[in-house]
């Protein structure tokens, strides 16, 4: 079942005293399956946040439709299924962690007795047990992101929409947020997140859509996208005479006591392996090396 559906979305903004019209989204369409972790990738200004705001009903598109489980996403029934974390979450500094979550629970008309249990569960879920009494102004950026995820989960939504959840975090903070997002997927949630941090997206997303000039220009399963772009193979081995390799015209580099030979095709790899077996060398590994998500992204946007 499709958790998110965006059809032919268009959005323009007027600037310069209502003279100039800038078209940000130009017929954007995509779908996200239930239980999927979908990465929305694009340069700054590509239209990622605009798409999310249209999906949430925060701004009105000029054309197109957005759905959450076949319900119009800008309706009350559609929004009931959504949890949202903005790119730069801002909460009143003098609230405590618990006070913020209780306030959010009230917005969803959750009863006090149920809210107390829910708040305790969420604080534990995002790794903040024992910190519910702390004021938000005393928390690190990473902690604020985790609390932002907690408030997005107060209503137990089926769909999480996260705008740049790794922005401004150090490596430890990014790992903590990645782990939480993966735990949400494991719990059956659908997660739609935008990011320009390609490493994080490559590590956790099931599928990715690359946005350029208001349209999706490439979309697919990350593992398939990367496996379809194998550049060469590296074979690593030991216990062979260096002169023997040179005499057989094998080009190699040495890494410590190991030899590494680069091969372009499967046939070259097979020939090398037969040669090594014949000469009783000891193989360590044969590794496929190809393009990363960053390589694919830069190629698609013409950089």
From first CA to last CA, the distance across the chain in angstroms is 36
CATH code of the domain occupying 229-295: 3.30.70
Structural contact between residues 18 and 11, judged by C-beta atoms closer than 8 angstroms: no
Give the pLDDT of residue 68. 93
What are 195's two structure tokens? 């990011």
Average pLDDT over residues 45-71: 91
Average pLDDT over residues 2-9: 93
In order of 62, 68, 186, 221, 222, the CA distances from 207 in angstroms are 27, 18, 16, 4, 6
Dump strand ranges (E) for the chain.
2-15, 20-33, 37-42, 63-68, 71-72, 82-85, 159-163, 190-195, 207-212, 215-221, 230-238, 252-255, 258-263, 282-290
Instruction: Select the CATH number that applies to the domain covering 2-221 from these four: 3.40.50.300, 2.60.40.1180, 3.20.20.140, 3.30.1360.120.
Output: 3.40.50.300
Report whether pLDDT(39) > 90.
yes
47 vs 227, which has greater pLDDT?
47
Annotated domain spans of the chain: 2-221, 229-295
Q: Residues of 26-38 as b/e, b for ≥16 C-beta within 10 angstroms?
A: eebebbbeebbbb
Domain 2-221 and domain 229-295, same fold? Reply is no
pLDDT digits (tens, 9 = 90+) for 102-161: 999 998 888 888 998 999 999 998 888 898 899 999 888 888 888 999 999 999 999 999
Q: What is the DSSP letter of 95?
A: S
pTM of the predicted protein model:
0.76
- At which residue do the structure tokens 């999927």 appear? 36
Report whether pLDDT(180) > 80.
yes
pLDDT digits (tens, 9 = 90+) for 267-277: 898 999 999 99
Give the pLDDT of residue 237. 93
The count of other CB atoms within 10 Å of the CB of residue 255 is 9
The count of other CB atoms within 10 Å of the CB of residue 7 is 14
């Amino acid at each position: 079942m499709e958790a998110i559906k965006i059809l032919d979305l268009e959005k323009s903004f007027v600037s310069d005293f209502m003279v100039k019209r800038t078209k940000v989204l130009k017929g954007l369409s995509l779908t996200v399956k239930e239980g999927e972790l979908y990465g929305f990738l694009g340069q700054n200004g590509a239209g990622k946040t605009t798409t999310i705001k249209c999906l949430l009903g925060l701004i009105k598109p000029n054309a197109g439709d957005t759905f959450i489980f076949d319900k119009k996403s800008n309706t009350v029934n559609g929004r009931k299924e959504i949890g949202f974390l903005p790119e730069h979450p801002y909460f009143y500094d003098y609230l405590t962690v618990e006070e913020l979550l209780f306030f959010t629970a009230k917005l969803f008309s959750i009863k006090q007795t149920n809210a107390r249990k829910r708040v305790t569960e969420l604080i534990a879920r995002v790794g903040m047990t024992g910190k519910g009494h702390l004021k938000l102004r005393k928390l690190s950026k990473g902690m604020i992101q985790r609390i932002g995820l907690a408030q997005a989960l107060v209503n137990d939504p089926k769909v999480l929409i996260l705008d740049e959840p790794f922005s401004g975090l150090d490596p430890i903070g990014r790992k903590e947020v990645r782990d939480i997002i993966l735990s949400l997927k494991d719990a059956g949630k659908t997660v739609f997140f935008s990011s320009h941090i390609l490493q994080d997206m490559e590590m956790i997303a099931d599928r990715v859509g690359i946005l350029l000039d208001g349209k999706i220009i490439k979309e697919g399963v990350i593992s398939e996208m990367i496996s379809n772009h194998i550049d060469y193979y590296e074979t690593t081995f030991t216990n062979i005479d260096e002169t023997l390799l040179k005499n057989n015209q094998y080009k190699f580099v040495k890494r410590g006591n190991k030899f590494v030979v680069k091969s372009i095709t499967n046939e070259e790899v097979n020939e090398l392996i037969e040669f090594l077996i014949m000469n009783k060398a000891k193989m360590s590994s044969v590794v496929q090396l190809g393009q990363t998500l960053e390589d694919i992204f830069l190629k698609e946007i013409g950089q």
